[in-house]
Amino acid sequence: MSNFQYLSASALDEAAAKLKGAQDGALLAGGMTLLPSIKLGLSDPSDVVDLAGISDLAGISVKGGSVTIGAMTRHADVAGSSDVAKAIPALAALAGGIGDQQVRNRGTIGGSIANNDPAADYPAACLALGATITTDSRSISAEDFFTGLFETALGEGEIIKSVSFPTAEKTAYQKFTSPASRYALVGVFVAVGSDGVRVAVTGCGQGGVYRESGLEAALGGDFSAGALDGQTVSGDNLMSDIHAAADYRAHLIVEMAKRAVAACG
pLDDT tens-digit map of 137-147: 999 999 999 99
What three-state secondary structure class fits 238?
strand
C-alpha–C-alpha distance, residues 158 and 16, integer Å:
8
pLDDT category, 83, cuts 50, 70, 90? very high
**Per-residue pLDDT tens over the stretch 176-208:** 998 887 889 999 999 999 999 999 999 999 999
- Nearest by Cα to 9 from 57, 44, 43, 42: 57
Residue 58, pLDDT > 90, answer yes
In terms of Cα–Cα distance, which of 259, 132, 243 is closest to 185? 243
pLDDT in the model for residue 180:
80
Q: 133 φ, ψ to 5°?
A: -100, 120
In the chain, where are the structural domains located?
5-50, 58-264
pLDDT band, residue 134 (cuts 50/70/90)? very high
Q: What is the band of 115 on the pLDDT scale with cuts at 50, 70, 90?
A: confident
Instruction: Tell me the average pLDDT across 160-166.
Output: 98
How far apart (Å, rounded) are the C-alpha atoms in residues 5 and 23? 11
Q: Distance between CA 76 and CA 45 in Å, rounded? A: 28
Per-residue pLDDT, averaged over 167-171, amounts to 97
Residue 181: the pLDDT is 79
Average pLDDT over residues 40-55: 93
As a whole number of Å, the end-to-end CA separation of the chain is 48
Percent helix, strand and coil across the chain, each rounded to 5? 35, 25, 35
Is the separation of the CB atoms in 127 and 209 below 8 Å? yes
For residue 42, the model assigns a pLDDT of 85
* CA 6 – CA 46 distance, rounded (Å): 9
Looking at the chain, the whole-number percentage of residues with pLDDT higher than 70 is: 99
Q: How many residues does the chain have?
A: 265
- The strand pairing partners of 199, in sequence order, are 190
Domain 5-50 classification at class level: alpha beta
Amino acid at 153: A
Beta strands in the chain (DSSP E): 5-8, 25-28, 47-50, 60-63, 66-70, 132-135, 139-141, 146-148, 151-152, 160-166, 170-177, 184-193, 196-202, 210-211
pLDDT at 167 over 80: yes
Mean pLDDT across 129-137? 98
pLDDT in tens, 202-257: 999 999 999 999 999 999 999 999 999 999 999 999 999 999 999 999 999 999 99
Mean pLDDT of the chain: 95
* Helix, strand or coil, per DSSP, at residue 240: coil
Q: Partners of 172 in the beta sheet?
A: 190
Predicted local distance difference test score (pLDDT) of residue 1: 58
Select from 3.30.450.20, 3.40.50.300, 1.10.1040.10, 3.30.465.10 the CATH code of 58-264.
3.30.465.10
> In this structure, what are the phi and psi dihedrals at residue 147, rounded to the nearest 5 degrees?
-105, -15
